Structure 1
Amino acid sequence: MNIKENDQIPNSEVFVMENGSPNKIRIQEFLKDKKVVIFGLPGAYTSVCSAKHLPGYVNMFEQYKEKGIEHIICISVNDPFVMNAWGKEHNVGEKILMVGDPFLNFTKAIGADVDKSARGLGVRSNRYTMLVDNLKVTKLQEEEDAGSCEISAAENFIKLV
């Protein structure tokens, strides 16, 4: 990844679903003056993402809130419709903001893009979790292998918050 601790989040356009329609947001505008956790992953409905990464943050939502986290954001290179459907399937409700980065604007800006074409997935995001406080990355954990979810997992990352 190009982004490091103490760097500022790039002002990329991403998408969220609002009232059944995709809505483009500028990530800096959304994160300004907030303390958030962002976790990025290779793709909605993929095995490790569905079995561990997303469910971990859903299950630990209250513990993160108790540590002053205002939002938990899940971002993937999928479109906002897919992210929304995947979130509903995992009962994220208001706990996790499901963000689509279908054009890899944010993913490429932070240097998290990885080519998974050999596995039939195309260009995806590596697996990571970051703590962002008023646009500044204060903690960052990136997995060496996107198929692994250890240091970026909710139960491990919370120790850094």
Structure 2
Amino acid sequence: MTIQAGDRVPNTKLFKVTPGGTEPVQSEDYFAGRTIALFSVPGAFTPTCSAKHLPGFVEKAAELKAKGIDEIACTAVNDAFVMTAWAKASDVGDSVTMLADGNGDFAKALGLEMDGSGFGLGVRGKRFSAVIADGVVKQLNVEGPGEFKVSTAEYMLESL
């Protein structure tokens, strides 16, 4: 079942990219006590993700934070090493926290996994964005296959 607005984020392990390396973090702990703008991409270094999705949230980070977002996080079904390399290559700095979902456990627990086997990607997370306040989904924007409209930083800003 797909998570909905009003639902609590399920508890799974993610790996948070930090300047000192990566550290495991439980999702219930990560999302507790603050408001997070989360966005998910099908894969690091993929065309739309690298050219539009991640850069949009980096560019709009200050505006999102001015509207009450405490932290912006990006998740993908990629390992922590890939997420670290993508953050460096994209010059993310401290504007977006990268959360590796290497086994896809978080995407599956949300009910937002997709089968990208036809493109050689295996099971990945769908493209979406969400506003999560103290572990509860307040806003969820899931893209249709091949679309890039409702999960953008601009759309989220308009919705806050």
CA deviation after TM superposition for structure 1 residue 17, in Å: 2.7
Looking at structure 1, the residues matched to 81 and 20 of structure 2 have their Cα atoms a distance apart, in angstroms, of: 9
2:83 is matched with 83
Instruction: Provide, for residues 46-95 of structure 1, a one-character-per-residue CA deviation record: whole Å limited to 9, x for no partner.
Output: 00101110000000001001001010000000001111110111111111
1:37-56 alignment runs, 5 A limit: 37-56=37-56
Shift of 1:20: 4.3
CA-to-aligned-CA distance 1:105-145 (integer Å, 9 cap, x gap)? 11000011111101111111110000001111000100011
Structure 1 letter corresponding to 2:21: S
1:14 — aligned with what?
Answer: 14
Q: Deviation at 1:30?
A: 1.4
Tell me how many residue pairs correspond in the alignment. 160
User: Which letter does structure 1 place at the counterpart of 2:124?
Assistant: R
Alignment TM-score, normalising by the size of structure 2: 0.96
Question: SS at 2:4's partner residue?
Answer: coil
Letter in 1 for 2:42: P
Cα RMSD of the aligned pairs, angstroms, is 1.1
SS of the equivalent of 2:49 reads helix
Helix, strand or coil at the partner of 1:43: coil
Q: Which runs of 5+ in 2 are unaligned?
A: none
Other structure's SS at 2:37 match: strand
TM-score using structure 1 length:
0.95
The question of whether the paired residues in 2 share the 8 Å contact of 1:48 and 1:148 is answered with no
Corresponding residue for residue 108 of structure 1: 108
Superposed displacement of residue 31, structure 1 = 1.2
- One-letter code of the match for 1:9? V
Q: Which runs of 4+ in 1 moved over 3 A?
A: 18-21
Question: Given the alignment of the two structures, is residue 95 of structure 1 paired with residue 85 of structure 2, yes or no?
Answer: no
